[in-house]
Amino acid sequence: MPMLVHDRMLELMEAEGIRTLFGIPDPSFVGMFIAAETRGWRVIAPHHEQAGAFMADGLWRMTGVPGVIVGNQGPGVANLAAAAICAAKENTPTIFIAGQRQRFYEQRVRKGRFQYTHQPRYFEAAMKYVGVIEYPEQVDEIFHEAFRRALSGTPGPVYIEFPQNVMTTPLDLPPAPPPQPYRLTRQAADPNRLADAVTLIAAARAPILLVGQGVFVSRAHQAMTDLARVLPCPIIQTPGGPAVLPGLEARTFPYATPAGIASVAAADLVIAVGTEIGEPIHYGVGRHWAQGNTDRKWIYVERDPLAIGVNRPIDAPLVGDLRDVLPQLTAALAPLNLAAPPSLADAETAHAAYREQLFASAPTRSTPIHTARLAMEATGALPDDTVMIRDGGAVNIFTWAFSRLVPRDVLWCQNFGHLGTGLPHAIGAQLAVGDSRRVALITGDSSFLFHISELETAVRKNLPVVCVVGCDYAWGLEVAVYKSAFGLQSPETEAHWGNQLRLDKIAEGFGAYGELVETAEAIAPAVRRALASGKPAVIQVPIDALANATEVPGFAEFASWYGDGGY
């Protein structure tokens, strides 16, 4: 039957598994929103398009299905620009759909046109593809090309513009095809390179698995776990992939911890999966990699052939979708009956002792609350299967170090360091997991204030995200940098918000649960009450501003990310 262009757009997205639409239903998209709801889609209207794009990102990271955000012509599209840059850096295949005025405006020689600017030029540098639907008949080829680009090689965002003059044109087309006829959906590794990798693994005496965020974003938890069971060696978490594979917690070590550093130094073979081997792990060459077996061999599972050998030499590149390559490698290694390296047991013991000592070193005072104590108390009260969202600077790093929860899913903006993603990420993640799991955000007040209005979105959509906000009433990490560089107090980094800022009351005003906690012992009970409320919740925790700025754990490691990979 004939359909309008926006109906066909929805059908094309359904063929890719998409059933959620983020955006503000302004004039360009009212018809699409009504049609989407009629077709049974979830339609989520944020208060800011940028936040909507971050929600789409959170949904992608928890489902492996691209998120879609729309922006109305002019200012709505402008609000998406920063999120588009972030998506490009985070390798997020968000589909940005932009409304625009009729196409004859494009070449008109006029000044002062309302809500009009030439939009694609602002996105071209960040997008893997920019397509404009000049004629209604182009809708299929433009959407197919957008998905082809977004999901081929390293994932990334795409931009589709939807001018008003094509909105009401009827189309008579066959049903939208599934992805397989128009893009590569699965790709296994070359058998010869796979044989090379097996030979390297069979000869290794101290291999390690280097596991990045891509494993979790692609929802390859089980495939990675299966490989780790036939390859019983240390699992090194990159900063971007701080989640833990179920059942393998004991031999999973964060990259820069003592057990992680020792395992890296001892390794004669690295199997890197789901990571860019980027600056936060020193390109696999500098800092910790410059110790021990510096001539170690590398196997790299990577979708993009153009990434092979860029940051460091690779001995056995396994180019393909890790969801296909990992089972290949597992099947090839199973007959070898590989044994754990002798050093693994020692590393497990050392890491357990390190964590115990770390927690014992945290200040025990009740007030002012130290950020380490905040992280320990808050995370210790969360269910084991909680999806953890991290945001901010100092609070983020403290949570990274002192979390008592060992999560299997962690979301944060590691590649770009963009602040304010936390609450939108939490909303997207809660949409993904529904009622099956809880989602908790641990963040600082500065970051939380970026998109605090999205609390209303969480309330409206009955998404019971729990937000624990450490409040130093200042720009935490910036305070330390400013004092270190200039030895002075800055009136802007050390803000004077003080106790006048009541996030718990703001939360209540939105219809969420809110609570102010001023002693360390009260944090865990407050988190449990927030969970039990069944509402979106904000737990406001004033923290020791000086300690938050000057006692950040592992700050030297964090600072080394800016040193060109530790070379």
**522 within 8 A of 373, measured Cβ to Cβ:** no
Look at residue 52 in the predicted model and tell me its pLDDT. 98
The owner of tokens 């061999």 is: 297
Look at residue 480 in the predicted model and tell me its pLDDT. 65
Two tokens at 297?
């061999």
Whole-structure pTM value:
0.96
Look at residue 488 in the predicted model and tell me its pLDDT. 59
**470 within 8 A of 444, measured Cβ to Cβ:** yes
Neighbouring residues of 130: CB distance < 8 A, sequence distance ≥ 6: 120, 123, 124, 158, 159, 161
Residue spans of the chain under pLDDT 70: 1, 480-499, 564-567
Centre a 10 Å sphere on the Cβ of residue 40 and count the other Cβ atoms it contains: 8
Specify whether the backbone of 207 is left (phi greater than 0), alpha (psi in -120 to 50) or beta. beta
Instruction: Give the strand pairing for 95-100 and 158-163.
Output: parallel
Tell me the angle at which helices 5-14 and 139-150 cross, rounded to the nearest 10 degrees: 30
- Domains with residue ranges and CATH for the chain: 3-171 (3.40.50.970), 191-348 (3.40.50.1220), 362-566 (3.40.50.970)
Look at residue 531 in the predicted model and tell me its pLDDT. 98
**What pLDDT digit, counting tens, does each position of 201-248 carry?**
999 999 999 999 999 999 999 999 999 999 999 999 999 999 999 999
- The DSSP 8-state label assigned to residue 386 in this structure reads P
Look at residue 527 in the predicted model and tell me its pLDDT. 98
**382 within 8 A of 407, measured Cβ to Cβ:** no
Centre a 10 Å sphere on the Cβ of residue 313 and count the other Cβ atoms it contains: 12
- The DSSP 8-state label assigned to residue 298 in this structure reads E
Centre a 10 Å sphere on the Cβ of residue 524 and count the other Cβ atoms it contains: 18
Q: How far apart are CA 33 and CA 151, in angstroms?
A: 25
User: Looking only at Cα atoms, what is the longest distance across the chain?
Assistant: 75
Look at residue 492 in the predicted model and tell me its pLDDT. 61
